[in-house]
Amino acid sequence: MKKKTSITSLLKKKQNGEKFTALTAYDTSFAQIFDEQGIDVILIGDSLGMVLQGNNDTLKVTIDDMAYHTRCVAAGASSAFILADMPFMSYATPEQACLNAAKLMQAGAQMVKLEGAAWLKETIETLTQRSVPVCAHLGLTPQSVHVFGGYKIQGRENNAAQQMIQDAIDLEKAGAQMILLECVPASLAKAITEAVSVPVCGIGAGADTDGQVLVMHDILGISSGYIPKFSKNYLTETGDIRKAVTQFITEVSEGAFPATEHIFE
């Protein structure tokens, strides 16, 4: 049996120049399949609002939704590191963040993920002081979709890029033990990955991050609408769910994914 993945083992992979892999999952069955194939991290994403609940965004997802699905995933994953999203407005204040993070940790999460930048510093400090590991999500943060005016690439302008690099450094200092970058130029993701000592996971963030995460519905070709530019339908190539996951792991490990066509410049 594969040894349980921890934040320490993910950090060791970064230090050794080894890539790690992550997929979203929302129930026991898929969590068990992904776990058995050797995925390093399973993310219970608030993307469930779209792929499971049929909403147009993630904003309607509640902390109780997240705790329920985290509990389901934890029941099926014996080796993978379990990362759970804090949903919209569940961490508006440090006190609120503590109460809601406790629900996810008690449901089986090993780390919680928060979207935001400099304003999160106090919240991250408060959570980590109270034994809640935190992943900071920068770049395209879907909970801010109405502020951004849609799902747009972030950090293309020099000022915005420099600010994101500083935010990553500041959030690590505040206690974040992982950073997730979504939909940012590959050069910016590389700069951030090199600027911090914690593991950096990317989605639509080029090939130079320490790890790659994709939404399970995208790699299996069952998302409604379209497959994002940064993703890939692995089920089409393999014809088998387990082989699709294995190929994703192999391609990330060997540097074959993401390829040029999946990267934003």
Q: For position 1, what pLDDT does the model report?
A: 63
Burial-class residue 261 by CB neighbours within 10 Å (0-12, 13-18, 19+). exposed
More confident residue, 196 or 151: 196
pLDDT tens-digit map of 18-63: 999 999 999 999 999 999 999 999 999 999 999 999 998 899 999 9
Q: What is the DSSP letter of 2?
A: P
Q: What is the DSSP letter of 262?
A: G
Place of tokens 């993945």: 5
Q: Identify the three-state secondary structure at position 12.
A: helix
Look up residue 31 and give its amino acid.
A
User: Structural domains in the chain?
Assistant: 7-262 (3.20.20.60)
Instruction: Work out the pLDDT band at 113, boundaries 50, 70, 90.
Output: very high
Q: For position 2, what pLDDT does the model report?
A: 78
More confident residue, 127 or 148: 127
Q: What is the DSSP letter of 127?
A: H
Q: For position 21, what pLDDT does the model report?
A: 98
- Residues with catalytic roles: 182
Mean pLDDT of all residues in 119-134: 98
The beta-strand segments (E) located in the chain are 20-24, 41-44, 81-85, 111-115, 134-139, 178-182, 200-203, 211-214
pLDDT tens-digit map of 138-180: 998 878 765 656 667 899 999 999 999 999 999 999 999 999 9
Q: For position 228, what pLDDT does the model report?
A: 87
Query: Has 240 been labeled as part of a binding site?
Result: no
Omega before 228 cis (within 30°)?
no
**Token reading at 96:** 């609120």
Query: Has 113 been labeled as part of a binding site?
Result: yes
Q: For position 144, what pLDDT does the model report?
A: 73
Query: Has 208 been labeled as part of a binding site?
Result: no
**Token reading at 46:** 């608030």
Q: For position 92, what pLDDT does the model report?
A: 96
pLDDT tens-digit map of 213-262: 999 999 999 987 678 899 999 999 999 999 999 999 999 999 999 999 99
Mean pLDDT of all residues in 123-148: 89
Q: Identify the three-state secondary structure at position 81.
A: strand
State pTM to two decimals.
0.96
Distance, CA of 16 to CA of 206 (rounded, Å): 19
Which residues are CB-contacts of 14 (< 8 A; sequence separation ≥ 6)?
Answer: 197, 198, 199, 200, 210
Task: Kindly give the residue spans of alpha helices, DSSP state H, lying in 141-185.
Answer: 145-148, 158-174
